[in-house]
Amino acid sequence: MARIEVCKVAELPVGQIKGAGEGETRVLVANVGGSLYAMRAICSHEGGPLDEGLLYENEVTCPWHGSVWDVKTGKCTWFNETLKDEPTYKVVVEGETVFVEV
């Protein structure tokens, strides 16, 4: 299992997302009400950068084509076609640093 360092806890306020990693291991971490959730940051529709999307409550919207994803489950909650779920990952906070285990 690999670990990706994402950011410092203070850099991820409630209602925000941060991306980290490269290629197929690009992930996002979302702060939803003080709890941290991680999922793959590559939209399964056409590879859009989900970590550059907008977070509203527990859903992130892909900036390319508007698909909406639940950051807690990795499931697509809205789009005009069925999309494959995105994997979710464990978030680990050590000291003041946020990591994702992929």
CATH code of 38's domain: 2.102.10.10
Coil, strand, or helix at residue 10? helix
Summarize pLDDT for 37-82 with one digit per residue, the tens: 999 999 999 999 999 999 999 999 999 999 999 999 999 999 999 9
Count of structural domains within the chain: 1
pTM over 0.85: yes
Domain extent for 30 = 3-101
Contact between 27 and 20 under an 8 Å Cβ cutoff? The reply is: yes
Distances (CA, A) of 74 to 10, 38, 77, 92, 95: 24, 9, 9, 18, 27
Q: Using alpha carbons only, give the angle 54, 56, 60 rounded to the nearest 5 degrees.
A: 50
